Structure 1
Amino acid sequence: MNRLKLLLLALVTVAAGAYTAVEYAELVPRGYRVGVELAEAGGLYERAEVTYRGVPVGRVEALEVTADGVRATLRLEAPVPKAGVRAVVANRSGVGEQYLDLQPTGAAPPYLEEGAVIGRERTRLPVSTAKLLGDAEALLASVDPDDVGTVVTELERAIGGPELRRLIEAGSEVVDAAAEVAPETVALIRDGETVLETQRGFGWKEFSRDLAEFTEAVETGAVNSVIDGAVSVSPPVAGMVDDVQPFLRPLVRNAVIGGQVFSAQESALRQLLLGYPAGVAGAFTVVGEDGLHFGLNLNLNVPPPCKEGYGTPWRRPQDLSVRPAVPDSHCRAPAGGATGVRGARNVPEAGPTPGIPGLREWLGDYDPVTWPDGS
């Protein structure tokens, strides 16, 4: 009985050892071998991984130096299509771990077989670090330092002038003014849409045709024909007046409000209209026949800070003790000084709401803000 148990144990041990030798130690090679002709190893090494579509299918079994290059012998364990197959030596990571990737043009058979060879013309090697550094050095050496200085200087001239700053400031003032009258603007657009809706149903084609006939009759001197044409035009005109009459007052009122807003911002609009063409014209000077012209102006300490009027003693940043505030500390530099004048006392005083020349004479006793009917 003991002999039988020992015999069974020996058989199991031999079977396990054989399985381990075949599956893990690979004492009995599996798969098939394929040769790859390379100009150089490119960092490839024995036991390097071989992949197909990103899936491992084998390893590099051996590397041999030939008369004009290197021959890599692959041990593949999965079928790989033969049509147009390319062998690419690639880097798996930034530390330079190379592997061989097989890239066929299709997925259908025939497949690579034992003894097949992939020619050198169907291989590709990675760019070496030495070549990359050499190309980068050549690129930097080709850049003339004087040209870099010219680019920086011209960029400063292009965007560092006062015209661009004034244009931006004027645009900011216009945006702020538009934001202040946003409700009135929305009301004007809404009422204008109502007026346009009433005009959509009006027979402008008929009116234009009749007006053309009237003008032609006046030009030829046929007064009687003009009178007859005027009679035919009168009903459409009367209908248009009747349709527009309920919406005419709100339209005029909103137009007056818009006119007041634009009159209040007359200086800013004038500055915008004067500076915008100059800014656009200056933008086209950035690119010329002799190249790009850029400049750079950091505007450091421009304008310098105001130091007049601050009597608070200086203390170190490590001093965290509580000290009483000095309420009388403020900038006492004149408003027209070169420093950055701050404070509420330098805010421009609000002027009266400007009017529209000739509006009162045109309206007479009609109030454009508070209408007689209370609207």
Structure 2
Amino acid sequence: MRRATRLRLLAFLLIGAVAVVHAGVRYAGLGSLVRSDSYEVTVRLADSGGLFDRAEVTYRGVTVGRVTDVRFRRDGVDAVLAIERDRRIPSDLAVEVHNRSAVGEQYIDLVPASTGAPYLAAGDVVQESVTSTPIDENDLLVSIDRFVRSVDTDDLATVIDETGIAFEGVGDDLQRLIDGGAALVDAAARSLPATRELLQSGRVVLETQDDQAQLISGYLGDLAGVSGVLSDQDGDLRVILRDGSLAAGQLKILADDLAPSLEPLLADLVDLGDIAYRRQDGIEETLVALPWALASAQTPGREGRAHFGLALAQDPAVCQEGYVPVSEWRAARDTTHVPAPDSLGCDEAAPSVPRGSPAVIGRTGAGDLGRSAAMGSTSGSSRSWRTMFTVPLLGD
């Protein structure tokens, strides 16, 4: 054998050995026989669920170890897991046995309930209460068989026939319905940003409603009270609703009859209201003083008799000089317009008549005992009406 051939064979053997060793260490786990790079955790299961040695152990979808042993115990199964030492897995977790495919190939999935410490360590035991296994195929087939046997074939045939009749000739409608559903889904997808914004804005609205919860609760309580009153008065309300249409008809007839005169009346009321507004202070004083005056008018009548006094003396006397003589007074029936002379006025001397200026009515002067001097200025005061009853009324 040539030297070159021997070198090629030696190189081929070395490459094959390296490949076998790599496959054994990488895929067969032979490296664990040489060095311990994992820690063992025991999982207590109600049953194996088809679990076998060398089954994978995953954490968040990543392989982190394998099942090294499945041991039976009196009330279940213990599965020993060899987990890679550099994997930190929270001890607060759930252990689930799943089928990788329809033909089996079970594996264990570690589902964490938290993300922090404490972490799994060598010798830890996961209790059965946080584990689950897939449904046994035999139990599933038996349950399906029982379900199929429980269905009455005649009733099933009736359902199939009626379903066929129901969908007969509606293929186009179903197609339009499916197409419309697809269009609806597309529109919803296009409106997804707006929908998200709406949901975020809705949160603000809901928070506002939460802040107003006490107010809304009080409003609903008051509404419940009103509803209770309406419920108690149900009979009267029914009478009103039954006879209300007749009353409404009569009111309409009345409104139609009043329509011709209502407009002038309202126009006159506007003028009357304007007059009352301009004389608001006087009306207020009248309304305040009138009850007092009426009550005072009842005091002279006592024991069925009326008591009054009459003073005939005029002191001081009325001024008569400087005015139209009595012989020249106009008759009461004479209504012609005659200008008043500007020269009329009291000509008597000041000591005999208690007035100020003899030519100006209402003016006060030295020694004035007239009404203005006695009462003072009370116009516009909120208490001016009291002067009527607390100050003597002296004539001019």
Q: Which has the higher contact order (CA 8 A, sep 6+)?
A: 1
Between structure 1 and structure 2, the one with the greater Rg is 2
TM-score, normalised via structure 2 length? 0.35
